[in-house]
Structure 1
Amino acid sequence: MHRAPKRKGVTLALVWEGYRAAHPEDGYGYSRSCELCRRWEGRLSPRMRQHRFAGERAFVDHAGDTLEVIDGATGGVRQAQIFVGMLGASNDTFVEASWTQTLPDRIASHVRMPEFFSGAPGQPVSDNLEAGVTKACFCEPKGNRSYADLAAHYGTAILPARPWRPRDKAKVEVGVQLVQRWIVARLRGRQFFSLAGPNAAIRELLEAFDGKATRHLGARRRQLFETLDRPALKALPARPCERAGRLEHHVEIGKHCHSVPPPFFAGNSGRG
Structure 2
Amino acid sequence: MINYREILRLDAQQVSKRGIAASCKCSRNMINDVLEEAEKKGISWPLPEGLGDKELQKLLFPEKHAKDERYLPDMDYVHKEMAKTGVTLSLLWHEYVLACRNRNQIPYSYRQFCREYTKFVTTTKATMRIKRKPAEILEVDWAGSTMSVRDQTTGEVLDVFLFVATLPCSAYSYVEGFYSMNSLNWITGHIHAFEFFGGVPQTVIPDNLKTGVDKPSYSDPVINRTYQELAEHYQTVIIPARVRKPKDKPSVEGTVGTITTWIIASLRNQVFFSLQELNEAVRLKLEEFNQKEFQKKKGSRLTAFLEEEKFALLPLPASRYEMAHWKKATVQPDYHIAEDKMYYSVPYEYIKHVVEIRITRTLVEVFFNNFRIASHKRLFGKEGQTSTVFEHLPAKHQQFLMFTPIHFIEWGASVGPSTEKAVRTILANGTNEKQALKLCQGLSKLVPPYSERELEVACEKSLAFSPRVSLNTIKTILKTEREIKTTTPSKTKTASLSKEHGFVRGADYYGRKDQ
| Counterpart in the other structure of 1:209 | 289
Check whether the contact 2:202–2:314 (CA below 8 A) recurs between aligned residues: yes
Q: How far apart in 1 are the matches of 2:314 and 2:243? A: 28
Residues 15-94 of structure 1 aligned to structure 2 (within 5 Å):
29=108, 31=110, 33-37=112-116, 51-94=131-174
Over 3 Å counting, the alpha-carbon distance change for 1:34 and 1:250 in structure 2 is farther
Check whether the contact 2:326–2:356 (CA below 8 A) recurs between aligned residues: no
Over 3 Å counting, the alpha-carbon distance change for 1:167 and 1:258 in structure 2 is farther
Check whether the contact 1:6–1:228 (CA below 8 A) recurs between aligned residues: no
Q: CA deviation at 1:250?
A: 4.9
1:259 to 354, 370, 376: 354
Structure 2: any 5+ residue segments left out of the alignment? 1-74, 100-105, 121-128, 332-351, 358-365, 367-382, 385-515
Q: CA deviation at 1:224?
A: 0.8
Residues 105-254 of structure 1 aligned to structure 2 (within 5 Å):
105-250=185-330
Check whether the contact 1:63–1:82 (CA below 8 A) recurs between aligned residues: yes
Q: CA RMSD in A?
A: 3.2
Q: CA deviation at 1:246?
A: 2.6
Q: How far apart in 2 are the matches of 1:244 and 1:223? A: 36
Deviations 1:189-212 (A, max 9, x none): 101111001110011111111111
TM-score if structure 1 supplies the norm length? Answer: 0.81
Deviations 1:87-113 (A, max 9, x none): 021110001101111100000000000
Give SS of 1:247's match: strand
Q: CA deviation at 1:249?
A: 1.9
Letter in 2 for 1:34: F
Q: CA deviation at 1:5?
A: 5.4
| Number of residue pairs matched by the alignment | 247
| Counterpart in the other structure of 2:421 | none
Letter in 2 for 1:229: E
Check whether the contact 2:225–2:326 (CA below 8 A) recurs between aligned residues: no
Check whether the contact 1:6–1:52 (CA below 8 A) recurs between aligned residues: no
Letter in 1 for 2:287: E
Report 1 or 2 for greater relative contact order, CA contacts < 8 Å, sequence distance ≥ 6. Answer: 1
Letter in 1 for 2:136: E
Q: CA deviation at 1:171?
A: 1.2
Check whether the contact 1:6–1:51 (CA below 8 A) recurs between aligned residues: no
Check whether the contact 1:6–1:54 (CA below 8 A) recurs between aligned residues: no
Check whether the contact 2:145–2:161 (CA below 8 A) recurs between aligned residues: yes
Letter in 1 for 2:326: R
Over 3 Å counting, the alpha-carbon distance change for 1:261 and 1:236 in structure 2 is closer
Q: How far apart in 1 are the matches of 2:244 and 2:223? A: 17
Which structure has the larger Rg over C-alpha atoms? 2
Q: How far apart in 2 are the matches of 1:182 and 1:176? A: 10
Deviations 1:157-210 (A, max 9, x none): 111101011110111110100111111111111011110011100111111111
Q: CA deviation at 1:37?
A: 4.7
Over 3 Å counting, the alpha-carbon distance change for 1:160 and 1:35 in structure 2 is closer
Q: How far apart in 1 are the matches of 2:214 and 2:191? A: 20
| Counterpart in the other structure of 2:84 | 8
Check whether the contact 1:6–1:89 (CA below 8 A) recurs between aligned residues: no
2:177 to 85, 88, 97: 97
TM-score if structure 2 supplies the norm length? Answer: 0.44
Q: How far apart in 1 are the matches of 2:173 and 2:311? A: 16
Give SS of 1:167's match: helix
Give SS of 1:59's match: strand
Q: CA deviation at 1:73?
A: 1.1
Over 3 Å counting, the alpha-carbon distance change for 1:71 and 1:215 in structure 2 is same
